[in-house]
Amino acid sequence: MMVHLRRARTSLVLDARGPGLPRVVHWGGDVGDLDDDGLRQLADATVPPVVPSSFDAPTVLSLLPEAGAGWSGRPALAGHRDRADWATAFALDGLDVDDDGDGPARVRVHAVDPGAGLSLTVELTLDPTGLLLLRHRLRNDGDTPYELRELTPVLPVPAVATELLDLTGRWCRERSPQRHPWPMGTWVREGRHGRTGHDATLLLVAGTAGFGFGHGEVWAVHTAWSGDHVTFAERRPTGEATLGGGELLTPGEVVLGPGESYATPLLYAAWSDTGLDGLSDVLHTHLRARPRHPRSPRPVTLNVWEAVYFDHDLDRLRALADRAAEVGIERFVLDDGWFRGRRDDTAGLGDWYVDEDLWPDGLDPLIAHVTGLGLQFGLWVEPEMVNPDSDVYRAHPDWVLAVPGRLPPTWRNQQVLDLAHPEAYAYLRDRLDALLTAHPGIGYLKWDHNRDLTEAGHRGRPGVHTQTEAVYRLLDELRARHLDVEIESCASGGARVDLEILARTDRVWASDCNDALERLAIQRWTGLLLPPELVGSHIGPPRSHTTGRTHDLGFRAATAFFGHYGVEWDITSATPAERAELAAWVALHKRLRPLLHTGRTVRVDHPDPAVWAHGVVAHDGSQAVYAVSRLATSVAQVPGAVRLPGLHGRRRYAVRPVPGVPAPATVQRAEPAWLPAGVTLTGAALATVGLQMPALHPEQALLLEVTAVD
């Protein structure tokens, strides 16, 4: 049987004619209208030849590559049953295809290996956007336990993909790109943090030579899992090239008893022949179509952490809320320090009761003041963590993730609660439920996670897998009980950014760094996976708390503009002029928010590394907004014109600097001729010729508004 799934210019072709698992004949660009005979001919035409010094039959790449079929690359399945049943030979036992309309097309493959006592189900879904989702389920049909060491979905990539791009990073420097030629061998990215990690690669991309944001053919995968994980690219001397990803299991972590099953995390796979922006378009469109994707306008948010830190004074916080309302902010978030014993980061985590000494009348007076101003109220929590200096730890030291007989090293003076412990889980669930029930004015939780999981033991066995599943269950239960409460995924900034945590949360905090220059890169590469409305992007204080840099308000505001907008700054210390300018930026964001949070993200491949440009274009081509940022001085006195991609080629567009906010600082004696009154050109002219920009000072940004005039 041949299977051909087609959606949004993407094809998936499977050859299920053999007795073993189906072979992936093709994943990528649409191969057109092929009947069964045409599909068979395509499959036969892509089988590799038998060459000297090789197996006597062709080695083909199935949905689960097996050594018994000649696969000598990275194992897709590794495990054993008391040192037996470590090799498999799955036989096809059934294949279901659901492809009856314009919705998702699905294939479910059933296979068995009676000798090894294992059953396998492979689930593939081709979304209407062209996004492919892949998952394996393994069941132990034997009479004895089976220890699973690895089960990893993989997909083939054609030989034309010769370069790799992925992301790495650290605290306050997340999402740093790295690219290189794709040589023979395996490029493996492993995350052993017990959370997604600051260094996690959101996407691992393989592409044709020189691919960029707007050009080149690219294939990419994302491992949707918030615990230990692996993502890899492998090229074999035998000719195969694959991308894959799954959970990274510690020995003994998953042992399947008779009849028990294990499901891999979803592997998201996307293809584009229009570069990285094409990948983003597929992913962003998929995410926006989710039933629980945020639908209401994303409220402009003030988070008080960098304004007050642990200094919780009711009058000061009320004054901060007053200023927030004056400049148009819509959500006020009280950060760390509101609960019992919390005067600094050494104590209190786990004791989720309002501190009676700090808040003798509870949180209600502040909540009432904030909501009385018309603002939403949010609260910071870090439920998965505990300080040894806390009542809950003193009462229940056995609730900590640890190996028997010793504690892991502390990190920010804290340990991790074992949420797979039923009593610890019930305590947290009930405490948070009670907190939200007692304070119905809380409409938002900033859910933090400020340490890696090290030596994370659960009842003497590795516990990252059970911890991750318990976190998902806790979030699911709380969301079911409090449907109107939104949740942010924060983890020392951007250390838990993946599509499985985002199935349960409403945005991520991209980084603890609010330095606008650093944030340009962090947000650009976070946006490779996530649409702007899911990425918290705040205007920091004039002097960055994490780098010491000083930036104009215009540069800070323009950099944060394209995400879920907010402020992380003591605006009671701002001058009247600064508050007036901030109000203008907030008003501008609100006006353009419907475009920013629904349009197509585009990024400009400009030859000068000191000039970055990006934008959002309405899907109907009616309007767009672009930012042009100068990161540093350039070798050239005047950099080349900046192209504005994504517009409809034949339509005419009026381009002008956004009105209502101060112009950025420049070094020019005279500005470009088009700038004072704007310019009207076709989309084709703007995309192929572009506009000469003013000579911006370093660390300045210009926003351009583009409107179709016919």
**Among all residues, which ones are annotated catalytic?**
448, 512
User: How far apart, in whole angstroms, are the C-alpha atoms of residue 149 and residue 600?
Assistant: 40
Q: Percentages helix, strand, coil for the chain, rounded to the nearest 5?
A: 20, 30, 50
User: How far apart, in whole angstroms, are the C-alpha atoms of residue 509 and residue 564?
Assistant: 10
Say whether 136 sits in a helix, a strand or coil. Answer: strand
Show the DSSP H helices in 327-421 as ranges: 364-372, 391-395
Report CA torsion sign: 512, 516, 517, 519.
Answer: positive
User: How far apart, in whole angstroms, are the C-alpha atoms of residue 254 and residue 579?
Assistant: 55
Q: How many helices (H) and strands (E) does the chain have?
A: 12, 38
What number of other Cβ atoms are within 10 A of residue 102's Cβ? 7
State the DSSP string of 457-487: EETTEE-HHHHHHHHHHHHHHHHHH-TT-EE
Considering only CA atoms, give the Rg of the chain.
27
Residue in this structure with the two tokens 């920010």, named with its chain if needed? 412
Name the pairing type of β-strands 204-207 and 176-181: unpaired
Please enumerate in sequence order all residues whose Cβ is within 8 A of that of 676, keeping only pairs 6 or more positions apart, or say none.
none
Among residues 271, 280, 9, which one has the least CA distance to residue 155?
Answer: 271
User: How far apart, in whole angstroms, are the C-alpha atoms of residue 231 and residue 227?
Assistant: 13
Among residues 200, 227, 196, which one has the least CA distance to residue 467?
Answer: 227
What are the contacts of 672-679 at 24+ separation with CB within 8 A?
678/654, 679/654, 679/655
At 579, the amino acid letter reads R
- What distance lies between CA 145 and its chain's CA centroid? 35
DSSP state of 575: -
Could you tell me the two tokens for 428? 């947290």
